[in-house]
Structure 1
């Protein structure tokens, strides 16, 4: 008979999954393959995947420690053989990476990607009309370009013009050397800046088989990566730390979040084409993983995606008391398994208090690690750029594993977000917490594909010619 620890570990993840994907069931969106860090997390973006930001990563570049790398992923659950149209960024959308370098919850710097569609010919249904060896080959019938702009305190600077995007990996016959195509999509700017956009393996890893809640009576299962075999669209940027911190508070701490904004009016014409007009309206937002997914209640998810960090006081009570509502994940775990609900003052008579753990992790930064000297409580991913990358004794558990270069001090591709988040949710940062919280996890400890050692660090996408992308580990 397996131990209680293992049984609880598997079941706790299943409960977390239920809380995360309950939105899809309740709102009539139908079953989905799972729901991950921010994959299909709110009703509106679930129906608009091109502006559904799935994950945000920010870390001191391991091979260039004087720089910061930021990666933003979009379009969840891309099937590799997703032809004939495959996957593209939405033209006419503002895809932004926002930087707060003084703790006031306002964007001091914005990096903005704007994409444009191109066709060699529209007289074919094909994505490519022959073998594609290079991004500029005329056989790549559909391709995208983008411009990258830096906006700082009212001044806009164009960093890159008409840069090519790496296409979807159609398959080995069409793109026999996809690595070359991906590398050709790396573009330089300034003295040391780099940018890249294209398709990649989804780097998030977790087990969320939610529709078999407790796996029947079989608690002997090992973890299975729900996102194994799926791709995402991604863009990345690498810049010197000073590009992010200049004009800030001098701490080296930056807050980071992504947003997507569409024109407010879409007109559909009878001949099939569309036109967009009106002001740009924010429709997607992502900073820390799992916040809108699990913490924000159903009725506020679209509001959160449209909101600004400076207005996060409206969501703060949910974080400060998480576990008090019987529908909160800590309360569900307590009800099913008797694990005590974390409480900073250990006094249930005055309600649940999470101001000593969840508030610093998600809203202010952790004192002495990644909290700015003066901070306005707001949800974003915070990175202390003065902490060097880990070179030995690194932990995928990041800070709670003794590795201050990892999550929640930024987020590396290899950080085990589910294990860390479950343990923090169950109070590992509170002295005297339930010891069962120390071993929580989903049994999936690494991505299904190997990350690369240089920018943009992401693993190559699963090929469209792979007949079984969801059953085999994809190593490069």
Structure 2
């Protein structure tokens, strides 16, 4: 519903009225890769850079009642990145946290730790046995291959309570009881690994989960980057016709520049009964992922022969990466606090509240347009719609019974999964536009298909207020209604010209597609 008492210029008219280079920033600001290199310090630590977090009710056939959690790390991997490729950091902690009672503190943590086993493969050269310089010395066909010069292994520990002092127990393979898992080597190329999909599938493990009567699944390995964003064009001030980014029929007008990249995924699938609180009837869980590194390091300028690293690590673990909902650190948190956000805990998010209640992004859009303050930015300050979307969850969708305002990805485990083909790429916002019933998508959790860039752009410019309507459907308050959104229904039509929904994915766990090979 749009207030027609005073005719406002359409968004297209506003675009035409201003200079094109400046106006292009309207889509550039929110459309950065989802938490890829999002803060100053993490750009120097790519192995622990969390890029995307997915949390959704599993839609693989026969997996009703399960929840899938996927945390991605190491952004923008070129498939040809040899000879060392993209091993995980054995001196880091990679963690997926679950809050199941709304208090903004972790109740469950799945902690991944990695180990590099160096095999020192050597070849007889003359009278000498000489170590090879490559990752492999022949074709790789299965886990823990003798042809690999380095075999990556990992463990997954479930911690109940505080992540550092809680009760810890290891996930174990069903059958053998082994607590060590093999990580597939990255997709070097088709000569080294002719059938990578089949090879990687051998590394999906059915596991027993401590305190859970239902087995789950776990996988850690390289995947094809599933995130879509018009990255190069965006950073060149949207070097594309403005008529494209305001025309919903052209949501796939540009190729996805991330389509030729890989990423490393840590995935667990757990029955929802093992994630929910035992003391409340709350079906909502909150989740976020972090990475922590040792507090100190010593670089040896002259490492002895046979050592694979020049660095020795010590001290306590310090959190340096954090990710819940996508794009928060990119377009909500101010530059001076980006590193602070990455090291912070959800329970302390009150320190960042002003960035949510009084966001700068809509005003930056107006500056880019050359418009007066308030002529395009939503007027419902403080922005209760953003507080709801990012800090508490939406009533009757994904709000816990007693939420402590904090930033995390919240999922209602009682809302049934929707098959991939029927999923609305715009999630809950798409329901408003199409009158659908898909409430299983972002910001209720996040599925690989959800176009979080377009959804975030719509939300930032007042789309949820438009959906809230004069009847206060989402409980945002009387101030959040169509009259508070100068752009009106046009807020729903913004996009970055790259379509998340057409990216290729698997039909089941671990859902993200087979990584691209370094050579065909």
Please say whether Structure 1 and Structure 2 have the same fold, judged by a TM-score greater than 0.5: yes
Secondary structure at 1:150 match in 2: strand
Secondary structure at 2:159 match in 1: strand
Question: Is the CA contact 1:257–1:380 (under 8 Å) kept in the aligned structure 2?
Answer: yes
Q: Comparing 197-206 with 449-458, which one deviates more in the overlay?
A: 449-458
Q: Distance in 1 between matches of 2:32 and 2:418?
A: 30
Q: Distance in 2 between matches of 1:12 and 1:204?
A: 26
| 1:283 maps onto 2:320 in alignment | yes
Moved >6 Å (runs of 4+): 5-8, 10-13
Question: Is the CA contact 1:449–1:459 (under 8 Å) kept in the aligned structure 2?
Answer: no
Shift of 1:90: 0.5
Partner of residue 113, structure 2: 114
Q: Comparing 284-293 with 328-337, which one deviates more in the overlay?
A: 328-337
Q: TM-score, normalised by structure 1?
A: 0.87
| 1:238 maps onto 2:262 in alignment | no
Shift of 1:449: 4.4
Q: Comparing 49-58 with 263-272, which one deviates more in the overlay?
A: 263-272
Unpaired segments of 5 or more residues in structure 1?
21-33, 323-327, 345-351, 467-476
Q: Distance in 2 between matches of 1:295 and 1:187?
A: 38
| 1:181 maps onto 2:199 in alignment | yes
| 1:371 maps onto 2:381 in alignment | no
| 1:58 maps onto 2:55 in alignment | yes
Q: Comparing 122-131 with 300-309, which one deviates more in the overlay?
A: 122-131
Question: Is the CA contact 1:13–1:441 (under 8 Å) kept in the aligned structure 2?
Answer: no
- Cα deviation code 1:191-247 (max 9, x no counterpart): 421000000011111112234214276755822312120100111000100111033
Q: Comparing 153-162 with 382-391, which one deviates more in the overlay?
A: 153-162
Shift of 1:425: 0.5
Say what the alpha-carbon RMSD is for the aligned residues: 2.2
| 1:156 maps onto 2:168 in alignment | yes
In structure 2, which of residues 396, 410, 419 is the aligned counterpart of residue 382 of structure 1? 410
Q: Distance in 2 between matches of 1:126 and 1:279?
A: 33
Correspondences of 1:20-419 after superposition (within 5 Å): 35-63=32-60, 64-121=63-120, 123-153=131-161, 154-160=166-172, 161-190=179-208, 191-208=214-231, 209-215=233-239, 222-247=253-278, 249-272=280-303, 273-322=310-359, 328-337=360-369, 338=371, 340-344=376-380, 352-355=381-384, 357-391=385-419, 393-402=422-431, 403-419=438-454
Question: Is the CA contact 1:266–1:275 (under 8 Å) kept in the aligned structure 2?
Answer: yes
Distance 1:52 1:6, change over 3 A: farther
Q: Distance in 1 between matches of 2:137 and 2:13?
A: 55
Question: Is the CA contact 1:68–1:239 (under 8 Å) kept in the aligned structure 2?
Answer: yes
Q: Distance in 2 between matches of 1:12 and 1:441?
A: 17
Q: TM-score, normalised by structure 2?
A: 0.80
Unpaired segments of 5 or more residues in structure 2?
1-10, 122-130, 173-178, 209-213, 246-252, 304-309, 432-437, 466-480
- Cα deviation code 1:418-467 (max 9, x no counterpart): 1100000010111313222010111212366421111111101111015x
Q: Distance in 2 between matches of 1:87 and 1:182?
A: 16
Distance 1:5 1:463, change over 3 A: farther
Shift of 1:15: 2.0
Shift of 1:188: 1.3
Question: Is the CA contact 1:70–1:237 (under 8 Å) kept in the aligned structure 2?
Answer: yes
Shift of 1:251: 1.3
Shift of 1:248: 5.2
Question: Is the CA contact 2:204–2:218 (under 8 Å) kept in the aligned structure 1?
Answer: yes
| 1:15 maps onto 2:25 in alignment | yes
Partner of residue 8, structure 2: none
Shift of 1:92: 2.1
Which of 1 and 2 has greater Rg? 2
| 1:458 maps onto 2:486 in alignment | no
Shift of 1:14: 4.9
Question: Is the CA contact 2:441–2:450 (under 8 Å) kept in the aligned structure 1?
Answer: yes
Distance 1:401 1:98, change over 3 A: same
Shift of 1:382: 0.2
Q: Distance in 1 between matches of 2:185 and 2:14?
A: 42
Q: Comparing 222-231 with 375-384, which one deviates more in the overlay?
A: 222-231
